[in-house]
Amino acid sequence: MTKKILILSVFVVASCGLAYELIAGALSSYLLGDSILQFSTIIGCYLFAMGVGAHFSKYVRDEDVLARFVDIELAVGLVGGISAAVLFLTFSWMAAPFRTLLYVMVFLIGAFVGMEVPLVMRALNARQTEFNELVSRVLTFDYLGALAVSLLFPLVLAPYLGLVRTGFLFGMLNVGVALWTIFAFRHELKNIGGRMLRASAVMFVLVCGFAGADRMTAWGEHGLFGDEIVYSTTTPYQRLVITRWKDDLRLYINGNLQFSSRDEYRYHEALVHPVLQPLPWAKRVLVLGGGDGLALREILRYQNIEHVTLVDLDPAMTAAFTTREELARLNGGSFRDKRVRVINADAAIWLQKTEEMFDAIIIDFPDPSSFALGKLYSVPFYGMVRKHLAANGLMVVQSTSPFFAPHAYWTIDATLRDVGMRTWPYHAYVPSFGEWGFILASPQADYKPPTTYRLPMRYLNADTTREMFIFPPDMQPLPMAPNRLNTQSLVHEFEQDWRRVIR
């Protein structure tokens, strides 16, 4: 019976160990961007620390193996359990020590986890288990535990519990392992009362943390965003937060501002109308991204538009801007218009499967701050977009700032031209963002900026439109290479550009 308990412990501790690694990687990716860098460095630090822990496990005396195993479970349960909460609150209220604390905690957790399996194997060996059976069983349950959490984390835990509550949950599982080890081996362990008291104290801390996870998250996000949070949710794809200050509603995705209700009309007029004004014959429009429905609001003002397909990855985004009244007011209830079809899918996959053609295409993705987003600004992606655009149709791409991120901006222009598009770059001043860039493109059509508009505008007129297509000396074109999928140069250019701004 004791052997089975130890083997089962391996399954649980393996699950917990991988969960802490995934939590650290996901949290740092949310907060710092560049998911490949964050996951690579965290995995490297974690595995190195596991090696250090495995090495130091040899200094545990045979007669103390079970006692040290219990102590390590309590330590990793406490440190791992609170890790997400501590890291998130640190980033929210005092961002400077975040990176240092991140790698210190990852190293500590990794070192503790690295000691677990060697100690279990020694405990089993002391109970006269055959070596080949010992290794086979321990590694089998170790890998099964890793498989279980690798499936549960992205599908269930992160989207429904959130990172903070998931951390506390796995911390409680580690403490649970300590408690059942104490009970199962109570005749071999010393100071049972003291160990039970310590385990109960750690469990109490973790249970309280689990119960108060939403309050901690709200407090942390208040420090991060400063304003009242009126809506927040973690989805399988991103963290959505909407804040309010007086009459200003703001949307943040993974901590990055997407719009301010005070000036978003400038952005969305500049995004939509230079494309649709010259196309009075256009009937079918495709929107990629734009799950807030604000670009959709501008498109639907044209009576000639008969059908709009909006493809956005996250159903939580489109649902919030459809059903929450304060958000639906911003987009004029555009998702309820009979001309609109909403498809929640990966845009690249959807484009591969559909055979539909469109007269105009509006691409309104978040900035290429990660490789998952960078693929949506790549040569293969724009090649697919071109196949679905009418020969004389027009498309436009939200293209980050030509002032703050010039290398990234002109990389997007080079990428569009690489797939045979003619391009017309332009920019607009949006107070919440500064100078912001767009690139208009077409397979064959010629283009001249509109001098009049069929619809009344709050921002655009002949003068502002003319100025949008003129680049001053400090925003002149740069000779950049296209963004290819295998290198994703755009993501690196984007990061380096904004790093120079922050300095």
Active site residues: 364
Query: What six digits make up the tokens of 31?
Result: 């907060």
Q: How many CA atoms lie within 13 A of 278 on its CB side?
A: 19
Concatenated DSSP letters for 30-93? HHH--HHHHHHHHHHHHHHHHHHHHHHGGGS-GGGHHHHHHHHHHHHHHHHHHHHHHHHHHHHH
Would you mind telling me the total number of residues written for the chain in this entry?
A: 503
Tell me which residue has tokens 């009937």. 283
Classify residue 52 as exposed, middle or buried by CB count within 10 Å of its CB (0-12, 13-18, 19+).
middle
Distance of alpha carbon 293 from alpha carbon 317, whole angstroms: 10
Distance of alpha carbon 437 from alpha carbon 179, whole angstroms: 58
CB 274 within 8 A of CB 448: no
- Spatial CB neighbours of 396, under 8 Å, sequence gap ≥ 6: 271, 272, 274, 275, 361, 362, 363, 438, 439, 440, 441
Q: How many CB atoms lie within 10 A of CB 379?
A: 16
Distance of alpha carbon 26 from alpha carbon 17, whole angstroms: 15
Could you say which DSSP state residue 332 is in? T
